[in-house]
Structure 1
Amino acid sequence: MQRVCFTMNLQPDRIDDYLAAHQDVWPEMLEALRTTGWQNYSLFLRPDDGLVVGYLETDDFDRARELMANTAVNEKWQSRMAQYFDTGTDPDTAMTVLDDYFHLA
C-alpha cells in the first residue's frame, strides 16, 4: 500500500467558502474516489495561510489519479474547486506530492 501526502494552497480570503463546499461533498464524487483507489483519504487545513495537506493510501497513486481524472464528476468538482486555490487552476494538477521517508508502524 502506497501512502501519499500532498500540499496545495488556498487563497486566504476563500478559506471559509472552500470549507463550506466540503460540508456536502457530492455522493458521486465520494464514490468515484473510492472506486478509483483513494483510500483513507483526509484533508487538513492550516487556517492562518490556507495550506491544505492531503493524505491518502492507495495501491498505485499515479493510476488512482489517472482513473479519477477520467471521471466526469471529478472534472466537474475540480472546475468548481479551482476558484479557491491560489493557482486558479484544477487543484489536481496543483498538488505538490511530498516524499515519504519515515513511518512508525
Structure 2
Amino acid sequence: MKQVAFTMKLLPGNEAEYEKRHREIWPELAALLREAGIAEYHIFLDESSGTLFAFQNLQDDSTGTDHLPETAIMKKWWAYMADLMETHADHSPKVVPLRNVFSL
C-alpha cells in the first residue's frame, strides 16, 4: 500500500463540531474517496495545538486522488468545513505534507 500523511490546523473551539461532521460524512463523499483508491483514512487531533494529523493508505495502483480537488463534492465539503479550520481562499484546507522517516 502507498501511504500518505499530512497535517492540517483546526481553529480553536471547533473540536466537537469537526468530529460531528466527520461522523456524519456524506455517503457520496465517502464513496468518492474509496473510488479514488483510499483504502483507509484516519485523522487524529493534537488537542494542545489544534493540529490534525491525517494518514491515508492508498491502493498500490492508486493515482485517483489527484483529481479529487476538481470534483464538485470535494469543493462542497471544503466549503462546509471552512469555518472550522485553516483554509486557502478556495476553501481547500491548508495541508502540510509529511515525509516518512521511519516504519516498523
1:11–1:60 Cα change, 3 Å: farther
Q: Structure 1 residue 86: deviation in Å?
A: 2.8
Assess, with a 3 A threshold, how the Cα gap between structure 1 residues 36 and 46 changes in structure 2: closer, same or farther. same
User: Number of residue pairs matched?
Assistant: 101
The partner residue of 2:92 within 90, 93, 101 is 90
* TM-score between both structures, scaled by the size of structure 2: 0.84
Q: For residue 60 of structure 1, report the CA deviation from its aligned partner.
A: 6.7
Residue 16 of structure 2: aligned partner: 16
- Describe how 1:23-102 pairs up with structure 2 within 5 A: 23-58=23-58, 59=60, 63-87=63-87, 89-91=91-93, 94-102=94-102
What is the RMSD computed on CA atoms of the aligned residues?
1.8
Structure 1 gap ranges (5+): none
1:10-60 CA distance string (max 9 Å, x none): 001222221111120000010000001212111111123211000002237
For the 8 Å contact 1:32–1:71, the answer to whether it is kept is: no
Quick one: percent identity of the two aligned structures? 32
CA distance in 2, matches of 1:70, 1:87: 16
Runs of 4+ in 1 over 3 A off after TM superposition: none
Q: Is 1:9–1:50's contact at 8 Å kept on the other side of the alignment?
A: yes
